[in-house]
Amino acid sequence: KAGVTQTPRYLIKTRGQQVTLSCSPISGHRSVSWYQQTPGQGLQFLFEYFSETQRNKGNFPGRFSGRQFSNSRSEMNVSTLELGDSALYLCASSQDTNTGELFFGEGSRLTVL
Amino acid sequence: AQTVTQSQPEMSVQEAETVTLSCTYDTSESDYYLFWYKQPPSRQMILVIRQEAYKQQNATENRFSVNFQKAAKSFSLKISDSQLGDAAMYFCAYRSAVPWGGNKLVFGAGTILRVKS
């Protein structure tokens, strides 16, 4: 069974640009969550999608958005990039049971210059 | 809001020895889940062990066990017979059990575990 796949793995952008990151969950998983990981702030929850609906949202500005498609694949978009958006963005999928186990991808490393 | 605190930024252990990583959390909820995740240098995080708050018995998974003290809001991870492959960043995480909580995890800052041969 394939794991969580995130693309691209690495990308470099400049301030003011926008970026779209993609996440393909494990087959059968309907919940997809996104996390931002930085040395200073650690791991912070961005949002979660379940059956194409945003179920939870973290405390991030509106420049951060996401969506989920009918096949459970998810994308997140960051517009008007700032230097502080440089981070590892992790996607996690789940079967959405009470065990709450999340399966993480390897992440997308975004560098904003 | 819930918070998770890991007070040990870095720990070292000799191969084959035992090490304990600390975690405390703050919540007003009575039902929740606690997790330890491991993030090796390759960055993919994997679940090490989970604990349901309503269970008094401490969870164990092979060489990994937890000491769950609900009243003290403490959730430490013990790694026995440490191996070189245990070297990684370890995160303690909290998840609410409320139906609308979804799969949102609140993470601690992490503890880097170094294993010496």
| Among candidates A42, A56, A107 on the partner chain, residue whose Cβ is nearest the Cβ of B43 | A107
Amino acid, res. A45: F
Rg (CA), chain A: 13
Q: Determine, for residues B101 and A56 on separate chains, whether the beta-carbon distance falls below 8 Å.
A: yes
Q: Give residue A12's Cα distance to chain centre.
A: 17
Query: Across residues B24-34, what is the average pLDDT?
Result: 94
* CB of B47 less than 8 A from some CB of A: yes
- How many helices (H) and strands (E) would you count in chain B? 0, 12
pLDDT attached to residue A90: 97
From first to last of its 113 residues, what are the pLDDT tens digits of chain A? 689 999 999 999 999 999 999 999 999 999 999 999 999 899 999 999 998 999 889 999 999 999 999 999 999 999 999 999 999 999 999 986 656 689 999 999 999 99
Q: Determine, for residues B102 and A88 on separate chains, whether the beta-carbon distance falls below 8 Å.
A: no
pLDDT attached to residue B101: 72
User: Is the pLDDT at B17 greater than 90, yes or no?
Assistant: yes
* CB of B95 less than 8 A from some CB of A: yes
Interface of A with B in 46-75 (CB under 8 A): 48, 50, 55-56, 58
pLDDT tens profile B61-84:
999 999 999 999 999 999 999 999
